[in-house]
Structure 1
Amino acid sequence: MAAIRKKLVVVGDGACGKTCLLIVFGKDQFPGVYMPTVFENYVADIEVDGKQVELALWDTAGQEDYDRLRPLSYPDTDVILMCFSIDSPGSLVNILTKWAPEVKNFCPNVPVILVGNKKDLRNDQHTKEELAKKKQEPVLLGISDSS
């Protein structure tokens, strides 16, 4: 059992890839079907600087229906992953208008990591066509990829 325990809470719009990210990280599996999450918890045992860490991964609901419940996940959080989806420019806008203010209110001194999910869809032709119908394009932040 790990002597160090940390809590990581993931927030972002519904269907932006939060649950998939956690399942891939915690269970090394890629879920095939989208199922909206209310609250799910996963545990990942990782090694950081030669020390074993038990990382509690808290998956939260991004849908507005759960705005009143989500704050129950914030106490004792050590780090926040704030997620948006590359194929949903609105999810990035919501980082600024919804998620950052909410996290600042409930977790004012907690470090935040911004995560862009669904990178594989950035150059997907179908995704580009669907976004073009709405006069949008996949999110590009001027970040260079090393992979």
Structure 2
Amino acid sequence: MAASRFIKCVTVGDGADYVPTVFDNFSANVVVDGSTVNLGLWDTAGQEDYNRLRPLSYRGADVFILAFSLISKASYENISKKWIPELRHYAPGVPVILVGTKLDLRDDKQFFIDHPGAVPITSAQGEELKKLIGAPAYIECSSKTQQNVKAVFDAAIKVVLQPPKQKKKKKRKGQKACTIL
């Protein structure tokens, strides 16, 4: 069997309502499109307390999973306000998979009755944000129901193994290239 390729995948996004570890690491062999990959998952803490430590985990990242909550407007807004600037600063050029989490709660009427300030984020808003930040993929998932969770990691692996082709900038006719010797 051929040696598997190692892919470092770092998850980032606003912190959840649980007692966090500073960094959680997990590694597993995964088969995607016939290729065996050793996926190293680095789950960073999104809490403000770890702002200075978190970027240390970005070094050597092959792909980021950038997550926001589908039931939090603030989490959605922080993607472009906080997370993209941070990732572009510390890890320019590394692809980002945009992920909307808590899909199971978006259509849960009782949740919104119990949380009157919560605002659901639509699929269209997620797609719009994907275009805005230049992400190759946007996936909505639920860790509670496991809906689309595998798709998130498959997309992260595929974007590393088969990077999207960059659009070539067309040179205008009659425009000469500048060469400095």
Structure-1-length-normalised TM-score:
0.78
Residue 49 (structure 1) shift:
2.6
Kindly indicate whether residue 33 of structure 2 is the aligned counterpart of residue 49 of structure 1.
yes
1:138 aligned residue (95, 120, 129): 120
Residue 2 (structure 1) shift:
4.6
Task: Report percent identity of matched pairs.
Answer: 50
Residue 123 (structure 1) shift:
1.0
Contact 1:60 1:70 in 2 (8 A): yes
Q: How many residues get paired? A: 127
Show the counterpart of 2:177. Answer: none
- How large is the Cα RMSD of the aligned pairs? 2.2
Show the counterpart of 1:99. Answer: 83
Classify the secondary structure of the residue corresponding to 1:99: helix
The whole-number CA distance in structure 2 between the counterparts of 1:4 and 1:64 is: 33
Deviations 1:66-104 (A, max 9, x none): 000001100100000000011111101000100000000
One-letter code aligned to 1:138: P
The whole-number CA distance in structure 2 between the counterparts of 1:66 and 1:110 is: 21
Structure with more relative contact order (C-alpha pairs < 8 Å, separation 6 or more): 1
The whole-number CA distance in structure 2 between the counterparts of 1:65 and 1:119 is: 27
Show the counterpart of 1:110. Answer: 94
Contact 1:2 1:54 in 2 (8 A): no
Alignment of 1:72-91 (within 5 A): 72-91=56-75
Contact 1:87 1:127 in 2 (8 A): no
Show the counterpart of 2:15. Answer: 14
* Unaligned runs of at least 5 residues, structure 1: 17-33
Residue 3 (structure 1) shift:
2.4
1:35 aligned residue (8, 19, 24): 19
Larger-gyration structure (1/2): 2
Show the counterpart of 1:62. Answer: 46
Classify the secondary structure of the residue corresponding to 2:81: helix
Moved over 6 A (4+): none
* Unaligned runs of at least 5 residues, structure 2: 128-138, 141-147, 149-181
Kindly indicate whether residue 6 of structure 2 is the aligned counterpart of residue 5 of structure 1.
yes
- The alpha-carbon distance between structure 1 residues 117 and 2, as it changes in their structure 2 partners (threshold 3 A), is farther
Q: Which moved more, 1:44-53 or 1:95-104?
A: 44-53
Structure-2-length-normalised TM-score:
0.64
The whole-number CA distance in structure 1 between the counterparts of 2:98 and 2:38 is: 22
